[in-house]
Amino acid sequence: MTAKPQPVRKRKHSRLPLLAQAGPVSAWMILFVTIPLLYIIYISFMTRGTFGGVEHEFSITSYQTLLDVTYFKVIEKSFRAAVITTLLCLLLGYPFAYYIARKPADVASRLIMLIMIPFWTNSLMRLNAWMLLFQTNGPVNNLLLALGWIDAPKMFIYSDWLVMLGLVTNMLPFAVLPMYSSIEKLKKSLLEASADLGARPAKTFMRVTLPLTFPGIFSAIILTFIPALGIYTITDMLGGGKVLYIGNIIKNQFGAIRNWPLGAALSVLLLLITALLIFIYTRFARIEDMEVL
């Protein structure tokens, strides 16, 4: 009786539940994500109109502009900042995540909640707070002067350094949470087994803990690096218009400068980088780890 499967005779299941449940979300995603993104790719290959706007004439001018020194420098700068931010977030965040993950479950969830609370305040106000701290005649400078570590107040504000601080402090939770989630899933019995087999704590960490928590680390990288690349509010607030990253440039193309194709091209660049990272991720990790959110 191992013939080919007979035609499936199914009960008459109504399609309504499927449409009602998966329908709206699918429609929304296609309408407001897929189509706009496709359109922006299209726009990036168009020419800039004389008064702003777009002429529907194919050209790769915008992409060529990206190779122009000034733009290229900005892109490179953003990249460097994003990389450093991500590294710092990983280095600072992992021990923190580990610390919390070792605590009993109820304590841990409260500790996590404690991390989240500051982020319920308006992010811009918090950035402004950093500004106030590092003002020329602000507390930090005054403290440093009083301690005699500097002779004259340092110009912290509007510096790359401050922007970096803003980036790291804003991105840290996005790094800590996925890493925490991954570390928390690590079964204690594995560490015990490693110790039982003769490995000292450092060795166990390198050969068991780190590899097994890699999915969390990778999630942290994605959730830190990509936003760091694209954000402009931090540079806006803390950089005062002097520090320009990719995000700022993109925004400006849609504001005063009105060079849509260029803005689109930069956006496409960001999209490509994102896609590349995701591709690497899906090759080496499991997609469920994204749901650490």
Partner 1 sequence: MKALADAIVKLLHVDKWFGNNHVVKDLNLEIQEGEFLTLLGPSGCGKTTTLRMIAGFEDATGGSIEVQGERIEDKEPYQRDVNTVFQNYSLFPHMTVFDNVAYGPSIRKEPKAEIKKRVTEMLELVQMSGYEKRKPEALSGGQKQRVAIARALINNPRVLLLDEPLGALDLKLRKQMQIELKRLQRKLRITFVYVTHDQEEAMTMSDRIAVMRDGVILQLGHPMDIYDHPTSRFVADFIGESNVFEGVVKAVNGELLTVETASGMAETQGSGFSVGEELYVSIRPEYLSISREPVTGFDLPARVKDFIYMGTVVKTSLDLADGKEIKYSRFEADATLREGETVYVHWDTHKSVAIKKEAEVEAS
Partner 2 sequence: MESHHSIRRRKRSFRFLGDLYAILMYAVFYIPVAVMIAFSFNDAQRNYYWQGFTTDWYGKLFSFANTDLWDALLYSVIIAVLATIISVTIGVLGGIGLKKFRFVGKKFIDMMIYVPIIVPEIVLAVAMLIIFMTIGVKLGMGTILIGHCTFCIPYAVVTIKGRISGDNETLQEASMDLGANRFQTFWKVTVPSIMPGIMSAAFLSFTLSIDDVVMSNMLAGARQSTLPVLILSLNRTGITPDANALTTVMIVALVLGMLAVNGLQRHRRKKEARLAAEAEKAISTAGGR
47-57 in b/e form (b: 16+ CB < 10 A) is bbeeeeebeee
Smallest distance, partner 2 to C-beta of residue 292, A: 8
Contacted entry of partner 1, partner 2, none for residue 9, CB cut-off 5 to 8 Å set by kind: partner 1
Among 8, 20, 105, 147, binds partner 1 (CB under 8 A): 8
Residues 92 and 233: their CA atoms lie apart, in Å, by: 23
CA distance 84 to 90: 10
By CB under 8 A, the count of residues binding partner 2 is 80
Q: What is d(CA 248, CA 232) in angstroms, rounded to the nearest whole number?
A: 5
Site for partner 2 in 71-100 (CB under 8 A): 92, 95-96, 99-100
Partner interacting with residue 10 (select from partner 1, partner 2, none; CB below 5-8 Å by kind): partner 1
Block residue for tokens 């591709």? 279
Interface with partner 2 in residues 100-119 (CB under 8 A)? 100, 111, 113-115, 117-119
DSSP secondary structure of 217-257: HHHHHHHHHHHHHH--HHHHHHHTTTS--HHHHHHHHTTTS
Q: Which residue has the tokens 């999209």?
A: 271
Q: How far apart are CA 177 and CA 184, in angstroms?
A: 10
Among 10-18, 35-43, 122-130, 227-235, which window interacts with partner 1 (CB under 8 A)? 10-18
Nearest approach in angstroms of CB 231 to partner 2 is 7
Draw the binding track, 11-50, toward partner 1 (x: CB under 8 A; -: no contact): xx--------------------------------------
Return the range that interacts with partner 1 (CB under 8 A); candidates 3-11, 78-86, 208-216, 252-260.
3-11
Assess 178 for contact with partner 2 (CB under 8 A): no
CA–CA dist 31, 165 (Å, integer): 37
For residue 7, what is the DSSP state?
P
Query: Which position among 129, 150, 155, 206 is part of the footprint of partner 2 (CB under 8 A)?
Result: 129
Residues 6+ apart with CB under 8 A from 54: 43, 46, 47, 48, 260, 261
* CB 257 within 8 Å of CB 191: no
Query: Of partner 1, partner 2, none, which one sits near residue 271, judging by CB under 5 to 8 A according to partner kind?
Result: partner 2
Would you count residue 6 as binding partner 1 (CB under 8 A)? yes
| Window 201 to 240, contacts with partner 2 (CB under 8 A) | 222-223, 226-227, 229-233, 236-237
Shortest separation between residue 200's beta carbon and partner 2, angstroms: 10
Binding residues with partner 1: total (CB under 8 A): 9
Determine, following the binding rule CB under 8 A, whether residue 122 of this chain makes contact with partner 1.
Answer: no
Choices 1-9, 19-27, 65-73, 185-193; region in contact with partner 2 by CB under 8 A: 19-27
DSSP code string of 67-84? HSHHHHHHHHHHHHHHHH
Interface positions with partner 1 (CB under 8 A) = 1-2, 5-6, 8-12
